[in-house]
Structure 1
Amino acid sequence: MIPEDTACNRKNNVPGVACAYDGQREPNLHKNVNWDFKRNDVNIKYWIDVMRNKYNRYTPQSRRLTLSKEQKLLMFMNGHGGDGYTKMQDTTYLLDFEMEKITKEMEFLEIYQEAFMISDSCGAITLFETVKAKNMILLGSSSLGEKAYSHGRCSILSIPKTDKFSLTTHYWLKNELDKKPNLTLLDQMKKYDYAYHKANSKLIINIENKEAKDIKAADYWKPKQPILNQIILKNDQDILAQYEFLELMKS
């Protein structure tokens, strides 16, 4: 899901080009990625329907998420938020009690084997703290009352380039997990140091008898069969969810 085509945004001073790295340019990062929901279709109602595996009868198969109790689910949300909520399109809100209700229904319907949900926003973990559904791992970039800070700034447009938590995650996937597939979620959490992020990232594990040191990160980021369903939501100008990022998760 993405609310706009970042590389084609009218505020982009180099049309058709976007890159997460300073001093580099590359073609439209979404060239080989199928975005099922774009622009105004990215809203709370559609998101809830997708997560509940509920669709209008006329929804084409290409826009449906194939969910079952044999599959793992990875969801990465990046955008604006606060204590107990996250925003979509800057006009609608997903609240913590709604997240609790949705995940409980997902558990009841048995539409996932395990789920790894990540939120990068202000007060991110508070969106998940009421979630009690089993076999879920919940990661927030910041804790109650904390901010999620951006990285870099475009001097031409006077807007942030990306977010620190998302950028750290991207570099960890590219430079470490890609080379060492046995790294655990504990190894991933160690990368989110307070000195750089100015926030306390928090991990909640609702899997019986498992801790972060016991869970291989590659089981979610770089899974083998069965195929993992990946949902990436982008609510602002962050351009980190790029082609290379997605390729790393698929390879």
Structure 2
Amino acid sequence: MLADQMPCNARNCFPGKVFDSNTHTTNLYGDDVEVDYRGAEVTVANFIKVLTGRHEPGTPASRRLDSDEDSNVFVFMTGHGGDGFLKFQDAEELSSHDIAQAVQEMHVKGRYNELFYMVDTCQAGSLATQLYSPNVVTIGSARTGENSYAYHTDFELQVGLSLIDRFTYATLDYMQSMQGHKDKPTTLGHLFDSYDSQMLYSNPDSRTELLGRSIYEIPITDFLGSVLQIQLSRDEYPQPNDHFTTTGKHATTLYAHLYRLERPT
């Protein structure tokens, strides 16, 4: 979900591009980015529909979260918020009670195995206070009563806006530091420990008691990336007769290479 249209905003000096650093090395709006809900479609009602699966008939698969009891779900939210709420389009609010009810419905319906809820907004920790469903872990950029702050500005843009928030920057920096360092701790616990309150100007607020196991046992890749085991099969896949082609006296059969994705154990 992307509420604004920054890539196409008339004030954007780099049309069709979004950067998180003044080095302009990584375009966050590249060709591989798919936005399923944008602009006016980003509403509290649609957000809850995605979590709970209560869509209208005919809703495309790309706009649904077809998760099940084996799925690890990661929810990241950022924007303007306050004590127990997050703003949507400056027109409506998502409350901590809304979040708690939606997650409980997900639990009852078997729509997640474990759920990681991350929020970057002022008083972000207050959005998790009402959660009570099992197998949920949360982290917010600031405690109740604290503001969350932006990071560096790109003066080349000449619009006076920061490119990224401090908490999001710290999270991204830790993720990038993991690349090429197999010996670096890569659990949720180590990610939480990496946050520096002096750099953030706030104190991250987490809840781990609903999870049922230590966050030092949970690899970050359980939520933010993984390597799937792929098994290749060259077995012939039966086709109807009209899918055969004939050249002279020899018939050419169409084959399908079947791939089976297995969830890592």
TM-score with structure 2 setting the length: 0.79
Aligned partners of 1:16 and 1:28 also within 8 Å: no
| Counterpart-to-counterpart distance in 1, 2:151 and 2:87 | 20
Other-structure match for 1:165: 167
By how many angstroms is 1:171 displaced? 1.2
Task: Read off the aligned partner of 1:14 and give its amino acid letter.
Answer: F
Q: Does 1:85 align with 2:85?
A: yes
Task: Read off the aligned partner of 1:66 and give its amino acid letter.
Answer: D
Alignment counterpart, residue 179 of structure 1, candidates 168, 178, 181: 181
| Counterpart-to-counterpart distance in 1, 2:189 and 2:28 | 34
Distance 1:27 1:173, change over 3 A: closer
Aligned partners of 1:17 and 1:25 also within 8 Å: no
Task: Read off the aligned partner of 1:215 and give its amino acid letter.
Answer: I
| Counterpart-to-counterpart distance in 2, 1:132 and 1:220 | 20
Which gives a bigger RCO, structure 1 or 2 (Cα 8 Å, sep 6+)? 1
Aligned partners of 1:50 and 1:64 also within 8 Å: yes
What do residues 144-179 of structure 1 show as CA deviations (whole Å, max 9, x unaligned)?
Answer: 100110001244101222100001111111112663
Distance 1:30 1:39, change over 3 A: farther
Aligned partners of 2:20 and 2:26 also within 8 Å: no
Aligned partners of 2:50 and 2:63 also within 8 Å: no
| Counterpart-to-counterpart distance in 1, 2:222 and 2:190 | 14
Q: Once the two structures are aligned, what percentage of the paired residues are identical?
A: 24
Superposition RMSD in Å: 1.9
Alignment counterpart, residue 215 of structure 1, candidates 218, 223, 246: 218
Other-structure match for 2:40: 40
Aligned partners of 1:73 and 1:116 also within 8 Å: yes
Larger CA Rg, structure 1 vs 2: 2
Q: Does 1:188 align with 2:187?
A: no
Tell me the secondary structure at the aligned position of residue 194 of structure 2. Answer: coil
Instruction: Give matches, 1:90-239, under 5 Å.
Output: 90-155=90-155, 156-176=158-178, 179-180=181-182, 182-205=185-208, 206-208=210-212, 210-225=213-228
Task: Read off the aligned partner of 1:119 and give its amino acid letter.
Answer: V
Deviation >6 Å, runs of 4+ = none
Tell me the secondary structure at the aligned position of residue 142 of structure 1. Answer: coil
Count of aligned residue pairs for this structure pair = 225
| Farther off after superposition, 212-221 or 44-53 | 212-221
Task: Read off the aligned partner of 2:43 and give its amino acid letter.
Answer: N
